[in-house]
Amino acid sequence: MRKIIKTNFGISLFIFGIIILSLFIGFISDSPATEKTRVRWIGVDQINKIIEEQKPVIVDLRTPGEYQRGHISGAINVPIETLRSNRSTLDIYKDNPVLLYCRTINKSDLAIWFLEGRGFKSIYALKGGYEAYRLHSR
């Protein structure tokens, strides 16, 4: 009889733990979206819509020379090396949507990681980078 009671108590405790864990996970997943960074990769066919609707700060992560040879209208040039050495460089835009692009996508991946760590909430990154944009805009 004692063994049955101990087994039932153990099972009840296990089920109770599962219920508490489920409630906790549900609480976390219902937290406001502003608590997490939202990263969205967009294609060149979406860029104009995002710029018009979201009015993001457009950040060109390429070198100054690459930027001078051509860039997306309205973009500011913050080379990835600058962002790497001073991660707070873009902090004044933390509450704004940010649209990142580089030549292809490698620097954008790194910049996303930096900005997520700084608490940026809304980040867009251009699939294919400036090369895709340039080819699409011809």
Residues involved in catalysis: 102
- Tell me the three-class secondary structure of the chain, residue by residue: CHHHHHHHHHHHHHHHHHHHHHHHHHHHHCCCHHHCCEEEEECCCCHHHHHHHHCCEEEECCCHHHHHCCCCCCCEECCHHHHHHCCCCCHHHCCCCEEEECCCCHHHHHHHHHHHHCCCCEEEEECCHHHHHHHHCC
